[in-house]
Every structure is written in structure tokens, then in C-alpha cells.
Chain A
Amino acid sequence: MYKIVTKKSLNPTVTQMEIEAPLVANKAKAGQFIILRVDEEGERIPLTVAGTDKQNGTVKIIFQIVGATTEKLNHKNQGEYIQDFVGPLGVATHIEGLKNVCGVGGGVGCAIAMPVAQALHAQGAKVTSIIGFRNKDLLILEDEFKACSDKLVVMTDDGSYGRHGNVTVPLKEMLEAGEKFDMIITIGPLIMMKFVVAAAKPFGVPVTASMNPIMIDGTGMCGGCRLTLNQDGKKVTKFACVDGPDFNGYEIDFDEAMSRGRTYFDFERKAHEKACNLFKGVD
């Protein structure tokens, strides 16, 4: 069992927790993920590590309440325990040698973009962060991004905060203005990452995208997280859990990934409704 040391609501749909897991805290690097189960019958879900505190042996996770499991997790309180917590899994984001990087995060994906931005900042790179949200109420981590970014642009879809529009607008402007990024690192909804790649393409800037497909074990055993890369005209199957979660954005078949991500859409919707109804009774 793993103790929830702190819990904080970042916005109405996004929660941050610090979980006591010293072995994971000791090893985790930006870009890696963990898998957790809330309770004995629970499903295994992957969440990217949002930070670590080696001294206290805790791992920070930030999650959006989108389904039954995240609903259940959100109903756990500080001082309570979750059943399982394993990691760090996957390969850390390759940041060695990068000097001028643009991080593009969307929604709860910003929680993953943040530790990467922090790590880049710590190694002395120039960091530009573009973070996008549907509206002002869903904005998270603005102060954290400010602290580790040389330049920060906040976008909202409805214009209720920051600039109006999606994240590709300022990205294109910067690229058109002649900004020479070594790398664009993008983390967020698949459709957003697909458009980030499209925006960067005319300028030939490398794009790393962080994938978050359906997973079970997270160690390469099930192959459920597989995705297709187009490498020099050849289709190559990769497992996000062990080969990723980061991949070359230009090679990823995003359409396929989006389709596969909806495999259990009906099941998940019903399970979430059920979980919500269950908690309505309790609350």
C-alpha cells in the first residue's frame, strides 16, 4: 500500500497528489511514468511522473478525472492509501545537449510538460513554454511554468485567459519570426500533438511527442500500447511502455493512435457514470 502524503485540487477536474514511493522517487526522471491501482479490484492506469522529492521519498502525480479509476482516485484523501504504485517505467525524455527548446502542453498534458521544462531549465537551456487550456477555470501550473521558462505563452480556446486560440498559433508565429528551436517537445491531446507536428514541419524543427495509450503492465508484456511509426516509408510497430513514451512526432501515426485510444470508449463512459453515481450516494 502506498500513502497519499499530499492532495491538492489544481482545478475542478485536475488533482495533484504526492505518493510515498521511495524506490520510484529515487529513480524517476522527467518523461517517465508510473502505473497505479486504486484498490484490490482496480484496473492498472499509467500516469506520467510530474515530479519527485527524493528526500521525502515521494512522487508527484497530476491527473484529470476522466473515468472510473481517476474518479475513485480523486475520492481518496490525504493520509489514505492506494493499492499499487510501480515505476518508473518507460524511457526518460532525451534532453541531453538541448539548448533552445519549445515545450507545447495541452490541458493536463502540461503536468507532464512541466518536469521536462524544469529539467531543461536546470541544465541551462533556453525554455519557451506554450500551454493551452479550454478556459481559465482549467488553467494549471502557470506559476511553475513561469519559474522555469524564459518565455511563457498561455492560450485558452475561449479567450477567457491569456491569448485566444490554440497552441499552434504562437508556435507558428515564433517559427515564422525565425526562432531556431533545437527541439519542440509536445505533450497533450493526440489531435493537438498532430497539429503541432504539422505546424513545425515546414520549418524542419524536430518534434518529440509523448504518447499515453491504453496500457496494462507497462513492462512490454501485453503489447496493448503498441503504435505505428512510419520510418523511411516502412511501418514499424513500437510499444509505448518500453520504447517510449516519447517518439519522433513526424513518424507517429496519430490517426491510428486516436482510433486505438477509443477501444473501450463505451465501457469507460458507463464505468465512469457508475462510479459517479456510487460516490453521489456516499457524499
Chain B
Amino acid sequence: MGNWSNFDELYEVYLPKIYAFVYNRVRHKQTAEDIVSTVFTNIVKRVGTFREHGAGFKPWVYAIARNALIDHYRRNQPTFDIGSVEVVSGENLANGLDRALDAESVKQFLAALQPQQREIILLRIWDDLSHKEIAQILNVSEANSKVMFSRAISSLRQALIGAKP
């Protein structure tokens, strides 16, 4: 990362990403701000560690954010509460699976997934991370990340079809 002279640029790039990552999982502004503050403070304090290990910067930042979230959950709630996810769009799409794709159903079946499957789906779809980056964050292989994602999507699709009225 070098010296602090390029920190502003990194801050502008990563603040909205990390904020979105955190907010989507806590759905509370003040909590998100507190956690994000902790994340960036830890980034500043641990930047020496990053240099030593030479891992990709983006997954390193997300790993710090993930750990901060885990700490928050341990202090406040044991699991990710998918129920806190607001229905941003009530749009129902038309035919087949479409009719089952109302937001509430999606939320319910997302919550029913195994935690690691759910986490991979959200990192891939909400945070737009590559499988290589997800692998570094979760400390799994890239191949495993792809397999788990594929299985998770398939499970979700089957569950939603099965619940179709």
C-alpha cells in the first residue's frame, strides 16, 4: 500500500463498498456506521500485516469487514437475521418461477440455506466479488467457492419451485 498518500483514493473506492457490505447485513444506519468505522480503523492499524502477507487488497479489506460483522453478531445476535432485510422491491415477475419470486419467499428460503452457502451467494450477488476473491475471504479454494455457489443457487431454485402455489 505504500505510504498514506494514496489512502484518499482507496477510501473513496472502498467506503461505499464496505458500507454496503455491512449495511445490507445489519440494516441499521448507526450500527453500520459504527462497524464501518471499526473496519477502517483496523485497516489503518493492520496495514503492515497486509504488506507482509501480500494477499490481494480487496479480499483483505472484506475479510476485515467480515470479522467485524462476526464480532458484532457475537455481541448482539448469533446469526444473520434475514428477516431484517427490507423488501426493497415488491415487484413480482410473471410466469412459472416468476410467480414464486416474490421478495418474501426469496428471503425465507435464503434464510433456510446453510450459513456458508448463504454467505457465498450474498458475497457473489450483493457484493459482486469474484470466486477467487470469495475464496481468499472465506479461506477456501476457488473451486470450492464455485461448487458451493452452484449448489446454493440450485437449492434455492428448487425450494422456490416447490413452494409455488
Question: Are A and B bound to each other?
Answer: no
